Amino acid sequence: MNGNLTLIIVAGALIAAGVYLLTERAMTRILLGVLLSSNGVAVLFLVASGKAGRAPILGAGGIAGTGMSDPLPQAMVLTAIVITLGMVAFLLTMAYRSFQLNGHDEVQDDVEDARIRRLAEEDEASDSYDESDHEIADEEGKIIEPEGADE
Amino acid sequence: MSNILALPVLLPLFGAALTLVLGRLPRAQRAASISVLGVAVVIAASLVYLTSTRGPIVLWVGDWPRPLGIALVADRLSALMLLVSAVMTLSVLVFSVSSDRTELQSRTPVSIFHPTFLVLSAGVTNAFLAGDLFNLFVGFEMLLFASYVLITLGGTGERVRAGTTYLVVNLLSSTLFLIALAVIYAATGTVNLAHLSIRLGELPGELQAVLQFLLLIVFSIKAAVFPLSAWLPDSYPTAPAPVTAVFAGLLTKVGVYAIIRTQTLLFPDRHLSDLLMIAALLTMIIGILGAVAQTEIKRMLSFTLVSHIGYMIFGIALASQAGLAGAIFYTVHHITIQTTLFLVAGLIEERGGSTSLNDLGGLAGVAPVLGVLFFVPAMNLAGIPPLSGFIGKVGLLRGGIENGGWLAYLLVAGGVLTSLLTLYAMAKIWNRAFWRSVPASVRRRDPVPSSSELDSSDGSVLIATATSSRTNVITAGVLVALGLGLTVVAGPLYQYADRAAADLLDTAHYIRAVLPQGVR
């Protein structure tokens, strides 16, 4: 089959821009990234369905090769669009909830992960090292709580 | 007869609708969801019997002209996975029903839990039964959507944070999956697995390798194979215990199942075997090193989960009958054990007030039953001889030695090392949480606990809810017994896995079952 080069470039640009936005921290930008990349993928499916300008489903008489465009990718893309719609709704809710809780919609780092990293930097992750004694003795008040310590 | 295949997908979906309607009647809701999943177990068991006696069962949904419609296919592998996943979802649901009370206290909308959980199980089932790639995608999306809701249940700050990471990563993999689908459809003009198996083989080798690589990346993200596993330990530990348990047990295994299915059926030429082996080695070693570094039980378990995915990938990479049989057996074992361990971690949290090893201690004195419940699956995970983990590992190592390449030998060594380090990680939890005296910091940090929380006789923070969690303990006990039961039935189960592996390698068998009249 012959692909449509313009459509492929458009799809590539949309997906690239979408993926770039996905790497951001603000959830609204992630949302935009999702929208862009899913549209890019939708265009990619159009490429897969063959040449542009053909008739849609012709009914029982239509045979492949007689100028009917392939309906299957369009069915698939419809499914994908519906799924993206749900996705966007969920992401919006999450962004709103995050805004309610923190006053912004940035995605935070994992607290526990940061704690382990600090231990590794201090070279204190070996088993002989009893963290609990140490923390109480030397860093009174500076213990990073595993829960509820996001700032 | 083949209509039975639609039931495992449809029943949970109808059940989800029903439980949504019954949202205000928690008792009826529980009864409905438990009975639906109970029936699912029976159907899955009968499917295992049917597929092992009569070969693969195929249902062409809607009876469209053959290569066009959606096919549901159950062969030995998918029937086995169905049965294990049905049993696990049922027991986790029973567990969560008895812990509803604690969830209610933290104002979680329990009425949402049951419908979502049933949709999750429908998605898992659909993924296992999918006979075409697009239906596999839909199955994945169903289970992912349910999992997004479950992982952010209650919408606390920590869960929303963890949920976002999880969501974005899975979004990326879904997008990649769609791209792969578009490219595959453009190249072959079909998404039916059996049909693809014929047509993909006619494509040029490089294109095949690209497509294989794309699909591999997609499923590796879901299965948490090493370079693509960073999201997992970040998002699993914050969810409620039953949710984490079912995620850990099932969701990653759906990815593993998809890798097994696509690798064996679509790309029998195994271009990427070496790559898979290296990924398996790194997954095992780096995962377990992560577990050793942690001090929080749920996070340790998440890392061991990543690490043990490596064993299954190892078996898949070998692509021999012995390797695949080992991988299948290990998957079954791991679903059971990992689910159990996460549920027990939930019990530990309930009993000790925390899952951080710094805050736990002396549990062996107060909760000896909990000790047994933790010890048995932990040793099973590490692979202590009579238990099923040992049998699975031996099977995989034997497959590796049979392969004979230097990479395979390296992986065998890596597998043994990982096993030892798992034992070390489990021993660390065992020693610190159960046998150490209660750390001073616990009393310091929480000087005036509320009266219900203080077991003043030994001064530790222990929530006195032993009676309310009795059913939980029983459920966990049943799961532990199931894990032990795997050892008892290991012989027949391994034979079954072996035959399933033989079926997988014989792609013509699958194609003949799905497309009996032959399509080009």
For B349-386, write each residue's pLDDT tens digit. 877 777 777 777 777 777 778 888 888 888 888 888 88
The mean of the pLDDT values for chain B is: 83
Which residues of A are less than 8 Å from B295 in CB distance? 116, 131
Hey, is the C-beta of A90 within 8 angstroms of any chain B C-beta? yes
> What does the pLDDT look like over B71-120, one tens digit per residue?
899 988 999 999 999 999 998 888 877 666 555 555 555 578 888 999 99
Q: Is residue B346 part of a domain?
A: yes
- Residue B465 pLDDT > 60: no
Which residues of B are less than 8 Å from A1 in CB distance? 186
Q: Is residue A41 part of a domain?
A: yes
The model's confidence at residue B158, banded by pLDDT at 50, 70 and 90, is confident
Task: Give me the number of domains chain B comprises.
Answer: 1
Give the pLDDT of residue B520.
Answer: 63
Q: Is residue A9 part of a domain?
A: yes
**8 A C-beta contact, residue B309 and residue B283:** yes
Which residues of B are less than 8 Å from A19 in CB distance? 172
Mean pLDDT of B449-470: 44
Give the pLDDT of residue A113.
Answer: 73
Q: What is the ipTM of this complex?
A: 0.80
Mean pLDDT of B3-14: 89
Q: Is residue B447 part of a domain?
A: yes
- Residue B452 pLDDT > 70: no
Spell out a b/e string for B425-464, using b for 16 or more CB atoms within 10 Å of the CB, else e.
bbebbbebbbebebbebbeeebeebeeeebeeeeebbbbe
Provide the domain limits for residue A15: 1-52+70-125
Longest dimension (CA), chain A: 84
Cβ–Cβ gap A107/B165 under 8 Å: yes
Q: Is residue A1 part of a domain?
A: yes
Give the pLDDT of residue B468.
Answer: 46
Shortest alpha-carbon distance between residue A58 and chain B (Å): 16
Give the pLDDT of residue B463.
Answer: 42
Q: Which residue in this structure is represented by tokens 């597998």?
A: B415
Q: Is residue B169 part of a domain?
A: no
Give the pLDDT of residue A28.
Answer: 87
Q: Which residue in this structure is represented by tokens 């089959």?
A: A1
Task: Give me the number of domains chain A comprises.
Answer: 1
Q: Is residue A151 part of a domain?
A: no
* More confident of the two residues B258 and B356: B258
Q: Is residue A141 part of a domain?
A: no
Shortest alpha-carbon distance between residue B294 and chain A (Å): 7
Q: Is residue B180 part of a domain?
A: no
The structure's pTM equals 0.87
Beta partners for residue B55, in sequence order: none
Q: Is residue B491 part of a domain?
A: yes
Provide the domain limits for residue B395: 271-513
Cβ–Cβ gap B293/A120 under 8 Å: yes
Q: Is residue A148 part of a domain?
A: no
Q: Is residue A34 part of a domain?
A: yes
> What does the pLDDT look like over A51-96, one tens digit per residue?
767 776 665 555 555 667 777 888 888 988 999 899 899 989 888 8
Q: Is residue B69 part of a domain?
A: no
CATH of the domain at A81: 1.10.287.3510
> What is the number of other CB atoms lying within 10 angstroms of the CB of residue B479?
27
**Rounded (10°) CA dihedral B165, B168, B173, B177:** 160
Q: Which residue in this structure is represented by tokens 């923070």?
A: B461
Hey, is the C-beta of A61 within 8 angstroms of any chain B C-beta? no
3-state secondary structure of B353: coil
Shortest alpha-carbon distance between residue A105 and chain B (Å): 10
Q: Is residue B499 part of a domain?
A: yes
> What does the pLDDT look like over B279-331, one tens digit per residue?
999 999 998 988 888 888 888 889 999 999 999 999 888 888 888 999 999 99
Compute the distance between CA of residue B355 and CA of residue B370 in angstroms, rounded to an integer: 14
